[in-house]
Amino acid sequence: MRFSSKERWLLLGIGLLLLFYLIAPSKKEIPLRKEGATDSLLPSIDIEVSRPSPPGSVSPPSSDQEAPPWATFNEKGVALFNKGRYQEALDLFQQAFALRPEEITLRKNVAQAHAQLGWEAIRQNAFADAEPHFAASIEQFDKEAAFYFGAAIAFHRRQKERDAFRMLEIGISLDPEQAIAYKLLGEIYESRNEFKKAIEAWEKASRLDPRDAALSARMEKMRREHRLFSQFQQAQTLHFNLLFEGREEKDRARRVIQLLEQAYQEIGRTFSYYPDRTILAVLYTDQQFRDVTQSPAWTKALFDGKIHLPIGGPIENEALLKKVVYHEYTHALVHQLSRGKTPTWLNEGLALYFEEGGRLDRDRLTPPLLPLDRLHGTFMAYDEPTARRAYAQSRSATAYLIDRYGFFRIKLLLEGLADNTPFPKAFEQIFLIPYADFQLEWQKRMGSG
C-alpha cells in the first residue's frame, strides 16, 4: 500500500506524539541499593520518576511534497526507539536535528533519547556512563526536571554530592512535587551528618510517596539517632567526628579517637588508601546502642555508614578496645574504597584480619560449609550460632585469599567493585580464577571437599 505525502506526514505526526509518551521512564523504580553493603545498612529507598509531559509533534507541510531528509531520519528514529534500540534511535535523531536545528520537537527527541540511555545505565549500575547522557539531555532541553533528577542519582552514587545537590536544586525548582528529589536530598544530608535536614527532606518525600516502607524505616532510625545525638558532645579531628555523652566520657572519647587515628594510618598503609570523607563515630552505653541500632544481641559493635561503639564505663581492656575500633574502622575504609559493594564475607574477613593485627589463622572448619555466594548479604538476620559459622567462614576464606594472592590484588578487587563491575567478573579479572572455582578450591583446603 502506498501513501500520499500528506498521509505520510500525518502518520509521522502521530508517531512523534506516541514517541514522547513512551520515551521517558514511566514510574520506573531506580533503587539506591548499595550492593554488598556491610551489616546493618538499612533497606534501600526506591526511587520513582514521573513521566515528563510529551512535547508537541511536527506540523506537516501545507502542500503535497516528499518528506525532507530530516523527517525521514526522525521517522526511522521513532521506529527504532519503539523497538528499544535507543542508541540507534539517538543517532538518527541527531542527524535529523543537525538538518533542522530550529525544530524544537527534534531537539526534545535528542534530549529524551539521551535521558533514556541515562536511565538504562542507572538500571545497570553504570553511573559513570549515565552522567554524560543526562548532561546532554539538559544541554538540549533544560526545562525537564526528570533529567536533573537522573543526573543527581548518577552523581550521588559516585559520591559527587556537591554536583548531586546542585542538580536537585534545579530539578526541584522545575517540579517541587517529586518524591525522588527529597529522598535523594535526605541521602545527601545523611552523608554529611546533617540529621535534622535529612529528616525534614524525608518527611517531604514520605508525604509525596507514603507507600515507601523502606523510607519510613530509614526515617524512624534517623529520628532515634537524632533524639540521642542532639544531647551528645563531640570531638573532632581531620578524619573523624566522635559523638559521646557527658563530660565523664571525655577521657574515653579521647582514647577512642586516638585509636581511630592510629587505625587510619596503619590500615591505610596496608591498603595504600586513606578515606577522604570525615567518618562519624558514636560512643554509647550498651542500652543506648541497642535502642538506636536495634541490632541482634550478639552484635558487639556496628558500622552502617557510622561507626557505633557500645563502650560504657571505664576502659578495662585496652587490647579488646583496640580490636573493636580497628574492626569497625576497616568496615568504614572498605565501604569508601568499594563504594559499599564488597560482599559481606570479604568485608568481615578483612575487618577480622586487621582486628587481629594483620594476621589470620586458617582454622579447620566443620562441614557443611555455607557457599560464599550465600554470604554476600547481611548477617544481621542470623541467630548467634549461624552468625558464628558465617564469621568463621569469612575469616577462613579471606585468610586463604590473602595468603595466595596478597593484599595488592585485594585492593584492586575493591576498586573494581567501586566501578560497578559485578563481583564474580571482577574476581576473575583480578585473581585469574573463576569465583566458583576459588570457592571449591578453598573448601577442599578446609577439608570439606
Which SS3 state, helix, strand or coil, does residue 449 take?
coil
420-425: average pLDDT: 90
- Return the domain boundaries, the chain: 5-229, 231-332, 339-449
What's the pLDDT score for residue 289? Answer: 87
Report the pLDDT value the prediction gives residue 65, as an integer from 0 to 100: 67
Q: Is 244 helix (H, G, I), strand (E, B) or coil?
A: strand
**Structure confidence by residue, pLDDT tens digits, 128-172:** 999 999 999 999 999 999 999 999 999 998 888 899 999 999 999
Q: What is the pLDDT of residues 325-383, one digit of tens each?
A: 999 999 999 999 998 999 999 999 999 999 988 777 666 677 788 889 999 999 999 99
Q: 5-229: what CATH class?
A: mainly alpha
Flag the least confident range among 175-179, 390-394, 407-411, 444-448. Answer: 444-448
Average pLDDT over residues 56-71: 64
CATH number of 231-332: 3.40.30.160
Render pLDDT for 26-61 as a digit per residue (tens, 0 to 9).
333 222 223 333 332 223 344 444 444 333 345 445
Half-sphere exposure of 230 (CA within 13 A, CB side): 9
Q: Could you tell me which residues are beta bridge partners of residue 280?
A: 241
236 pairs with which residues across the strands? 241
Q: Which long-range contacts (CB under 8 A, 24 or more apart) does 387-390 make?
A: 387/296, 387/298, 390/344, 390/345, 390/348
89 phi, psi to nearest 5 deg: -65, -40
Q: How far is CA 319 from CA 29, 84, 323, in A?
A: 47, 59, 6
Angle, helix 104-123 to helix 127-140, in steps of 10 degrees: 170
Please state which of the ranges 50-54, 80-84, 173-177, 234-238 shows the lowest mean pLDDT: 50-54
pLDDT for position 62: 52
- pLDDT at position 64 is 59
Tell me the mean pLDDT in the region 205-211: 94
pLDDT of residue 363: 65
Q: What pLDDT sits at residue 9?
A: 45
Q: How far is CA 158 from CA 9, 208, 419, in A?
A: 44, 26, 9
Query: pLDDT at residue 280 above 70?
Result: yes
**Which of 66 and 236 is assigned the larger pLDDT?**
236
